[in-house]
Amino acid sequence: MTRIFPEPLTREAFRPFGEVIEMAGAAHYTINQGFTERFNDLAFADVAMEGGATNVSLFLGQPRPAPIEIRLMERHPLGSQAFIPLQDRPWLVLVAGDVHDAASYRAFTCTGQQGVNYARNVWHHPLLVLDADSRFLIIDRKGPGNNLEEVWFAEDKVLGLSV
């Protein structure tokens, strides 16, 4: 089984796949009579295609046994999808430049203060958490059309993601 080892998530490493949603390193300004710092416009919610609109959802995720068996990847041809952790817990992201090229896969360990926004058509694995009952806010697209494409791997192509 080919193993993938995650690296720490950084804006630069994630740039080909979308945006990192985090305060660290982001511009900000003061609002609310001095009581709030605003880190404005951190992700492109690309949801308006073909009559789409913004969908705000919550996900409750459960961990998988380690090493995590990667049996499929997915992408959303009609919109972006953002994941923001609601507890300060590390979690995992797995993306690919070319779903059929194992060398193009990149795995990231995210801190509990890092969200990501997968750009439209970026191949990624469904939510991967490390702790039971991990809560996330999701911002993606709702609307007409088929916004899900999946590729399932043959048994001898299953990847192992180290935790």
Of 3-11, 39-47, 92-100, 154-162: span binding a copy of itself (CB under 8 A) = 39-47
Given a contact cutoff of 8 angstroms between Cβ atoms, the answer to whether 119 and 77 are in contact is: no
Q: For the CA atoms of 150, 154, 156, 162, what is the dihedral angle to 10 degrees?
A: 20
1 binds a copy of itself (CB under 8 A): no
Sorted by sequence, the CB contacts under 8 Å of residue 19 that are 6+ apart come out as: 11, 42, 43, 44, 116, 117, 119
SS3 95: strand
Going from the C-alpha of 56 to that of each of 40, 67, 84, 141, 152, the distances in angstroms are 18, 31, 11, 9, 27
d(CA 81, CA 56): 10
Given a contact cutoff of 8 angstroms between Cβ atoms, the answer to whether 94 and 71 are in contact is: no
Query: Closest separation between CB of residue 103 and a copy of itself, Å?
Result: 25
13 binds a copy of itself (CB under 8 A): no
Query: Closest separation between CB of residue 38 and a copy of itself, Å?
Result: 6
150 binds a copy of itself (CB under 8 A): no
| Of positions 10, 54, 109, 111, contacts a copy of itself by CB under 8 A | 54
Q: State the binding string over 87-126 for a copy of itself (x if CB under 8 A, else -).
A: xx------------------------x-x-x--------x
Q: Which residue, 33 or 146, is less far from a copy of itself as judged by CB? A: 33
Q: Which residue, 56 or 66, is less far from a copy of itself as judged by CB? A: 56
Binding interface with a copy of itself (CB under 8 A): 21-23, 26, 28, 31-33, 35-43, 45, 47-48, 53-64, 71, 82, 84-88, 113, 115, 117, 126-127, 135, 137-139, 142
